[in-house]
């Protein structure tokens, strides 16, 4: 799990360099700061409230209850992925037990934080040169809270799409589809 997290973290400087090289020279530093700010802001927001909204107790069918993912009891305990029931069209149900992998919860929090950060850094590529840094500073925590956590809870955290049997093996829906649609929409409105 740690190795997978470190491989994912390699994307951050790679995307910073890519974004700095594809824009005009006057926007290169701003582009790099947008990507680096997205990573830093996601780390703070993730442990403060977003992890529990994505993988915590259910508040709504598509959203978890907000809360901090800090504290020793929470982070040292063994990781636990939600138990859930899949409902299929032929009225059969399959109960999936709670999975308890052999690593601490802190590893799971950090692993999922990297996915959330990469999603916002990918989204940053669509607004390079269009959105100023102050607007980006407000956009990042709001989008993480009201968009990413909904997709993550719905598919990975035991939400309604998970119950319907929707499978998202490598982040196609939660990461790529959400950042692509949000990037397209944001690029359209921020012109």
pLDDT tens digits for 91-142?
666 666 566 667 788 888 888 899 999 999 999 988 888 888 999 999 999 9
Query: Shortest CA distance to 38 belongs to which of 14, 8, 68, 12?
Result: 12
Instruction: Tell whether pTM > 0.85.
Output: no
Q: Where are the domains of the chain?
A: 2-189
Report, as an integer, the average pLDDT of 151-165: 80
User: How many other C-beta atoms are found inside a 10 Å radius of the C-beta of residue 18?
Assistant: 15
Between the CA of residue 127 and those of 85, 136, 180, 190, what are the distances in Å? Answer: 39, 9, 12, 8
What CATH architecture is 2-189? Orthogonal Bundle (1.10)
Average pLDDT of the chain? 83
List the alpha helices (DSSP H) in 46-104: 51-55, 72-76
At 49 the pLDDT is 93
């Amino acid at each position: 799990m740690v190795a997978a997290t470190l491989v994912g973290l390699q994307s951050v400087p790679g995307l910073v360099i890519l974004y700095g090289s594809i824009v005009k020279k006057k926007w290169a530093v701003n582009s790099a700061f947008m990507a680096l700010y997205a990573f830093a802001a996601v780390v703070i927001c993730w442990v403060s409230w977003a992890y529990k909204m994505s993988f915590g107790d259910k508040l709504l069918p598509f959203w978890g209850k907000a809360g901090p993912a800090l504290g020793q009891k929470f982070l040292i305990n063994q990781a636990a992925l939600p138990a859930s029931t899949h409902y299929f069209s032929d009225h059969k149900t399959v109960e999936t037990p709670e999975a308890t992998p052999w690593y601490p919860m802190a590893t799971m929090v950090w692993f999922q934080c990297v996915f959330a950060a990469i999603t916002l850094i990918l989204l940053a590529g669509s607004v390079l040169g269009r959105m100023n840094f102050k607007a980006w500073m407000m956009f990042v925590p709001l989008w993480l809270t009201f968009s990413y956590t909904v997709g993550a809870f719905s598919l990975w955290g035991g939400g309604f799409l998970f119950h319907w049997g929707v499978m998202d093996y490598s982040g196609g829906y939660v990461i790529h589809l959400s950042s692509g649609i949000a990037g397209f929409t944001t690029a359209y409105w921020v012109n």
